[in-house]
Amino acid sequence: MNVTLYQFRISPFCDKVRRALKLKGIGWTVVEIPVVPPGKFKHVSPTNKFPAVDFGDRIIVDSTDIIAHLDAIAPEPRLIPGRAVERRRRIWNRWEIT
């Protein structure tokens, strides 16, 4: 599988998506978004925010939504914690506050 990643190279959100794709073993082709002139890729991301990934059947904008979709189409290794893990994290957070 190969997807198209629309990115600003130095963006930490784009780096997050590159790392996620690598972990999932999914190949990607980069389209570098020029800073000037802005808005050239509004047909990909109407808000002009990147990363955006074209999966062929859909384009997803926002790194967290992209990662959720990656977990859906390529479940292993899981990137978003399952319920039990999430529960434990919440307990830890509460413990840290009190």
Ligand X SMILES: N[C@@H](CCC(=O)N[C@@H](CS)C(=O)NCC(=O)O)C(=O)O
Binding footprint of ligand X on the chain (CB under 6 A): 8, 11, 13, 48-51, 62-64
Backbone φ and ψ of 60, nearest 5° = -120, 130
Nearer to ligand X, 21 or 63 (CB): 63
Nearer to ligand X, 72 or 84 (CB): 72
Give the shortest CB-89-to-ligand X separation in angstroms.
Answer: 20
Pairing mode of beta strands 52-54, 59-61: antiparallel
Give the shortest CB-16-to-ligand X separation in angstroms.
Answer: 7
Q: How far is CA 4 from CA 53, 55, 84, 95, in A?
A: 6, 7, 33, 42
Nearer to ligand X, 8 or 55 (CB): 8
CA proximity to 24, closest of 84, 57, 85, 66: 66
Give the shortest CB-46-to-ligand X separation in angstroms.
Answer: 11
Give the shortest CB-4-to-ligand X separation in angstroms.
Answer: 16
